[in-house]
Amino acid sequence: MTTRRERLREATVREIQEAARRHLRAHGPAGISLRAIARDMGMTAPALYRYYASLNDLLAAMIESYKAEIGEALEAARDAVPADDLGGRLAAAARAFRRWALDHRPEFTMVFGAPPPGYEPRAEGEIPSAGGLGVVFFTLLTDLWRRERFPVPADEDIPAGLREQLEHFSTSCGLDRADLPLGLIRVFVGCWVRLYGLVAMEAFGHVHFVLDDAEPLFEAELAEVSAMLGITRPLPPGHSPSASAAQNAAS
């Protein structure tokens, strides 16, 4: 049973988070200040210490909640594609990840940029995954592998140092080693690195030195990865037909 106090407290926490998010969107990660949040709420800054031990704690809580929301966004995008079209589901989730990053650059920076000094991604028991985030892609890959049996490196082809760690991850996740080969985890990590790399480069603006619109590259990489995973379908929708070829030769 939730007491009245608890409900009020919960509502206040939500209001704090909403105000913090507003400031994040408006002024970036460095623009989140306790005093500004309190001002928005018609309170004074020290009152916020009843809810968070410090600004850093508030930021950490924001990161966690954004992680959860990214996971939900990915799952929603995945579930919008028929369950038998695993390739389409993977593409949808990958595109959703990129979309979220580009539509929420400050938020993405908080979650996937350099963490504030002293931040620890709360290693609660659960599944030791990227906050239930990489797990979306991982389960898609495992399902895909079970169906398509796309080629993965054999155990003995994985360097020993890497193999040990993949084994550790596999057992600590409670995976069935007989069912899912280490090579599959190896492939997953490789795909995740490519996805993260491209999306992070784009979100952080490090891709303009060669491209001014990274979407075609993203789609090409996605197609390449998909091919690697035995997905042959033509990757249904998702990329607009290069509708913006203007503003190229501008000084």
User: Quick one: 3 or 240, whose CB is closer to a copy of itself?
Assistant: 240
- Closest to DNA by CB, 107 vs 202, is 107
Give phi and psi for 141, each to the nearest 5. -65, -40
Binding of a copy of itself by 209 (CB under 8 A): yes
| Residues in CB range of 227: below 8 A, 6 or more apart | none
- Residue span binding a copy of itself (CB under 8 A) among the ranges 3-11, 93-101, 141-149, 218-226: 218-226
| Torsion angles phi and psi, residue 104, rounded to 5 | -135, 60
Q: How distant, in Å, are the alpha carbons of 21, 27, 47, 119 from that of 31? A: 10, 5, 19, 18
Q: Does 95 bind a copy of itself (CB under 8 A)?
A: no
CB under 5 to 8 A by kind: which of DNA, a copy of itself, none does 150 bind? none
Residue type, 247: Q
Of 222, 94, 88, the residue nearest 144 (C-alpha):
88
- Shortest Å, Cβ 61 to DNA: 13
**Which one of DNA, a copy of itself, none interacts with residue 56, CB within 5 to 8 A by kind?**
DNA
Handedness of CA 101, 103, 106, 107 (dihedral sign): negative
| Side chain identity at residue 32, one-letter code | I
* 97 touching a copy of itself, by CB under 8 A: no
Q: Hey, what are 139's tokens? A: 């389960």
If one asks whether residue 216 binds a copy of itself (CB under 8 A), the answer comes out as yes
The dihedral through the CA atoms of 133, 138, 140, 141 has a sign that is: positive
Contact between 150 and a copy of itself per CB under 8 A = no
**Residue 37 vs 86, nearer CB to DNA:** 37
- Rule CB under 8 A: which of 128-147 touch a copy of itself? 128-130, 134
Residues 6+ apart with CB under 8 A from 2: 10
Taking CB under 8 A as the rule, does residue 151 contact a copy of itself? no
Dist CA 41 CA 19 (whole Å): 8
Stretch that binds a copy of itself, among 4-12, 66-74, 81-89, 105-113 (CB under 8 A): 105-113
**For residues 8 and 211, which CB has a smaller minimum distance to DNA in the complex?**
8
Point out which residues bind a copy of itself (CB under 8 A): 27-30, 105, 109, 112-117, 121, 128-130, 134, 158-162, 164-166, 168-169, 185-186, 189-190, 193-198, 200-201, 203-206, 208-213, 215-217, 219-221, 223-224, 239, 242, 245, 248
